[in-house]
Structure 1
Amino acid sequence: MVKVVKSDSTNDRGERMVTEGDIMLLKGFEFNQSGKLNATMYAPYTAAIDRATGEATVEIPSFIPQNTFAAPAGASHMRLVTAASKVDFEGESFDLDTDESSEIFIGPQSETAITLTATVPTAGDQPIFLLFGVEFLQEVNGTMYPLKNGAFNALALVEVDESV
């Protein structure tokens, strides 16, 4: 965010604002430096935001989990997650929606294509952010548990739509 604020060329130092900066600088931001998305997931995916409908989607073509994901020791399953958020920086508010896949066994099976969709309101010209990630799980006695430390879970800001 500091880079975005510093990219505000309209206001003087100390008075710069996120809304006047280059919000596109946030695209590609990794939320976990220990579990980066491109080092955890080797499958291609497409990310898109349709401002007219408010739909933000991530599409993953069919894949083989054990060949496509760098799962940490102890992980038996994983879940793909996405979130879309429309942020009003001036009003200090946001709208958020999420979607997730079912639990996927990390094995040699072929998984069908997955589309994850999160929807935000269409009104307004605030930026929309699309996040995509993977959460690793461990099955114990038929129950799924997140791995204790979550150090290998990846989440990245994969698409940004600045405004109308």
Structure 2
Amino acid sequence: MAKQNGIVPLKGTIGNITFYKSKAGHLARGKGGVDGSRIANDAAFVRTRENGAEFGRAGKAGKLLRTAFRAMLLNASDSYLTSRLTRDMLKVIQADAKSVRGQRNVIDGEAELLSGFEFNINARLAGTLFAPYTAAIDRATGILKVDIPAFIPVNMVAAPGGATHFKILAAGAEIDFEAETFVNGNAASAELTIDATATAVMNLSVNVTANSTKPLFLVLGVEFYQQVNGALYSLKNGAFNALALVNISGMPAAPGGV
């Protein structure tokens, strides 16, 4: 892959060179590669097939997770979210110590490896909300919650220029990666002014299935607004909103520890 430096960028194919535009700029690459049928059948490419199967599984799992939190991601995500989440989901799959290569999966992997994942790399939760909080998951009751003591917004929230208000949001999801289904819920504070007035104590909780046997995910986020003539508008279309996975409970232990 090479960058185009000409005055007029090219698009299309000339000979064995393909010219195209990506987020990284105008690029050029040579045509070629191994025939698809050989990769699918040749014993020499068994590792390639195994890696491809697990990469595809990671992409599908990442899409399901994004769909479960879609309402939150509409206002807090970056353009590389899909590739970043697929990469980290692949690490979860590769942590599966039960299945053979090529058949490793999220269920038998370590979903907790996603803890701390930032959905908007341009506005990290860790660098946006400094107020202490407790994120807990209770499998028995199916309650996922975030508790935040009272805090002074101007001291504990790193607000972008132009922001006058903010909101704290939490969402939880119970995800069945095999059936490709989920149960989710969300909660949010009121729109709060970014000033020196202490907030009330916040207890944000959502409910999923009690005694679930599926992985559970809890996210926490901050949204910013600007007040204009008494109305609140999302600031910069959510470019500064933060959202991260703050607690994860993977598959529960089988009875008897088996």
Q: Structure 1 length as normaliser, TM-score?
A: 0.95
Per-residue deviation, 1:163: 3.3
Q: Per-residue CA shift, 1:73-118, capped at 9, x if unaligned?
A: 1110000000000000011000010000000000111112111011
Looking at structure 2, the residues matched to 20 and 163 of structure 1 have their Cα atoms a distance apart, in angstroms, of: 8
Looking at structure 2, the residues matched to 38 and 123 of structure 1 have their Cα atoms a distance apart, in angstroms, of: 31
1:99 is aligned to 187
2:161 is aligned to 73
1:37 is aligned to 125
1:157 counterpart letter in structure 2: L
Q: Indicate the RMSD between aligned Cα atoms, in angstroms.
A: 1.1
Report the more deviating stretch, 61-70 or 147-156: 147-156
Per-residue deviation, 1:53: 1.2
1:161 counterpart letter in structure 2: S
Looking at structure 1, the residues matched to 134 and 105 of structure 2 have their Cα atoms a distance apart, in angstroms, of: 31
Pairs within 5 Å for 1:124-139: 124-139=212-227
Find the partner of 2:109 among 16, 21, 24: 21
Looking at structure 2, the residues matched to 82 and 151 of structure 1 have their Cα atoms a distance apart, in angstroms, of: 18
User: Comparing both structures, which one devotes a greater share of its residues to strand?
Assistant: 1
Instruction: Identify unmatched segments of 5+ residues in structure 2.
Output: 1-88, 253-258
1:15 counterpart letter in structure 2: Q
Identity %: 48
1:112 aligns with 2:200: yes
Moved over 4 A (4+): none
Looking at structure 2, the residues matched to 28 and 68 of structure 1 have their Cα atoms a distance apart, in angstroms, of: 19
Secondary structure of 2:198's partner?
coil
Find the partner of 2:151 among 49, 63, 82: 63
Instruction: Identify unmatched segments of 5+ residues in structure 1.
Output: none
1:19 counterpart letter in structure 2: I
User: Comparing both structures, which one devotes a greater share of its residues to helix?
Assistant: 2
1:78 counterpart letter in structure 2: F
Looking at structure 2, the residues matched to 124 and 40 of structure 1 have their Cα atoms a distance apart, in angstroms, of: 32
Structure possessing the higher radius of gyration over alpha carbons: 2
Looking at structure 1, the residues matched to 237 and 191 of structure 2 have their Cα atoms a distance apart, in angstroms, of: 19
Aligned length: 164
